[in-house]
C-alpha cells in the first residue's frame, strides 16, 4: 500500500481525471499544491531518489489530462529546479509551487487592471461564454466609474452566458443578452470584444469556446477591437514543436437529446475553435498586453522554454 503522502497525490490526480476539479486555473493550482505537499513530507535516502519520486508524482498528475496546457505548465514550473542536496530541492519545489499558486491567483486581477485601460467611458463591450479573465477586465473598468454596457451571448450548447449575466447582474453592469446568431446584428454598436482563452499557441492563435472565431471575424469586418484576456499559464510551449491542439468534442446529447432516433443525422459538438492571430488585436496577460504574435516570447520569458531546446 502506498504511503499517505503519495496517496494524496493520487487523490488529486483522481479528482482532476474525473473532473471533480475542473477549470484551467483550479487544475493547475491543485497539481502545484499536490507536488508541494508531497515534497514537504517526502523522506528519501538521497537527492536522486527524491528527484525520482517527485518526477513519478509529476507524471501521474500530467497523465490525468495530457492535453490540458495549464496542468502541464504548472507541473513544468514547479519541477524546474536545480539542487545540490535534498533540502535544497525540497525548498525549491515548495517555493516554485507557492509562487505559481500566488501568481496564478493574482493573474486574473492584474489582467483586469491592465485590460481595463482599453475600455473607455461610454463603451459597449461584447463578451462570449463565461471567462473570469474577461469579466475581470469589464468589472475593473466598471469599478473605476466608467459608464459602460455589456452584450453577453447565450453561448450554446451549454449556455454559459447565463452564468455571465448572473455575475454582471450582481456587479450592476447594464447588460444585453442575445443569441449567438445575433452577434453581427449588434457588432456595429460594439467598441470592444473581450474573451478568454483555453490555450494560446506559439504563433498567437487562440483556442477558446466554440463561436469565438466567428465573433472575431465579425469584429474584424466592422473594425471593432478584439482582445483576449489570458493568464500566462494558458500559453502552450509544445505548439512550438508543431504539436497540434486537440479540439475536444463533447456529447451529442448536449445539442440533440434524442439523437439515437435519427438514422441519417449525426451531431458534431466541438467544444472549442481556433481564432487566427490576424483577427486578434491584443492579448492581455498578467505580465502585459501584447500583440498575439508575441506569444512565443511569453512562452520563452515567462515559462522558460526556448526554440530548439
Pairing of strands 272-275, 192-195: unpaired
* Residues 248-307 contacting a copy of itself, CB under 8 A: 255-256, 259, 262-270, 273, 276-278, 281-282, 284-291, 293-298, 301-302, 306-307
- Give the one residue of 62, 114, 197, 200 binding a copy of itself; rule: CB under 8 A: 114
> Count residues contacting a copy of itself (CB under 8 A)?
90
CA 21 to the chain's CA centroid? 14
178 is an interface residue for a copy of itself by CB under 8 A = yes
**φ, ψ of residue 281 in degrees (nearest 5):** -80, -35
Give the whole-angstrom CA distance, residue 88 versus residue 93: 9
- Give the one residue of 210, 228, 230, 303 binding a copy of itself; rule: CB under 8 A: 210
116 is an interface residue for a copy of itself by CB under 8 A = yes
CB nearer a copy of itself, residue 83 or residue 178: 178
Catalytic residue among 123, 198, 281, 284: 198
The helix/strand/coil state of 66 is coil
Give the whole-angstrom CA distance, residue 44 versus residue 51: 9
- Give the one residue of 179, 248, 251, 253 binding a copy of itself; rule: CB under 8 A: 179
Query: Dihedral of the CA atoms 124, 130, 136, 142 (nearest 10)?
Result: 30
Handedness of CA 215, 220, 224, 227 (dihedral sign): positive
Mark whether 129 is an active-site residue.
Answer: yes
- Give the one residue of 40, 41, 241, 246 binding a copy of itself; rule: CB under 8 A: 241
- Whole-angstrom CA distances from 2 to 6, 42, 137, 148, 261 are 6, 12, 45, 55, 48
- Give the one residue of 123, 154, 198, 231 binding a copy of itself; rule: CB under 8 A: 154
To a copy of itself, the closest distance from the beta carbon of 286 in angstroms equals 7
Stretch of 6-14, 28-36, 52-60, 203-211 lying at the interface with a copy of itself (CB under 8 A): 203-211
- Active-site annotation, residues: 129, 198
Amino acid at each position: 500500500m502506498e504511503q499517505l503522502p503519495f496517496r494524496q497525490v493520487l487523490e488529486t490526480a483522481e479528482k482532476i481525471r474525473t473532473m471533480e476539479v475542473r477549470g484551467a486555473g483550479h487544475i493547475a493550482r491543485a497539481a502545484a499544491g499536490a507536488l508541494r505537499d508531497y515534497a514537504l513530507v517526502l523522506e528519501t535516502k538521497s537527492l536522486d531518489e527524491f528527484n525520482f519520486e517527485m518526477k513519478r508524482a509529476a507524471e501521474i498528475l500530467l497523465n490525468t489530462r495530457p492535453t490540458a496546457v495549464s496542468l502541464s505548465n504548472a507541473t513544468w514550473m514547479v519541477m524546474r529546479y536545480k539542487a545540490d542536496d535534498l533540502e535544497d530541492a525540497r525548498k525549491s519545489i515548495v517555493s516554485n509551487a507557492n509562487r505559481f499558486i500566488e501568481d496564478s491567483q493574482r493573474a486574473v486581477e492584474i489582467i483586469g487592471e491592465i485590460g481595463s485601460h482599453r475600455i473607455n467611458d461610454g463603451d459597449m463591450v461584447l463578451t462570449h461564454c463565461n471567462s473570469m479573465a474577461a469579466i475581470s477586465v469589464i468589472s475593473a473598468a466598471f469599478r473605476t466609474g466608467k459608464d459602460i454596457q455589456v452584450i453577453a451571448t447565450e453561448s450554446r450548447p451549454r449556455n454559459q452566458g447565463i452564468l455571465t449575466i448572473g455575475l454582471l447582474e450582481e456587479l450592476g453592469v447594464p447588460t444585453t443578452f442575445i443569441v449567438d446568431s445575433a452577434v453581427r446584428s449588434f457588432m456595429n454598436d460594439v467598441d470592444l470584444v473581450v474573451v478568454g482563452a483555453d490555450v494560446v499557441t506559439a504563433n498567437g492563435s487562440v483556442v477558446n469556446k466554440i463561436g469565438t472565431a466567428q465573433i472575431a471575424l465579425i469584429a474584424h469586418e466592422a473594425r471593432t477591437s478584439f482582445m483576449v484576456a489570458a493568464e500566462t499559464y494558458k500559453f502552450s510551449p509544445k505548439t512550438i514543436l508543431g504539436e497540434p491542439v486537440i479540439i475536444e468534442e463533447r456529447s451529442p446529447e448536449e445539442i440533440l437529446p434524442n439523437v439515437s432516433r435519427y438514422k441519417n443525422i449525426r451531431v458534431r459538438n466541438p467544444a472549442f475553435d481556433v481564432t487566427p492571430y490576424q483577427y486578434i488585436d491584443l492579448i492581455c496577460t498578467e505580465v502585459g498586453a501584447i500583440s498575439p504574435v508575441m506569444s512565443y516570447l511569453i512562452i520563452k520569458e515567462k515559462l522558460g522554454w526556448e526554440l530548439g531546446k
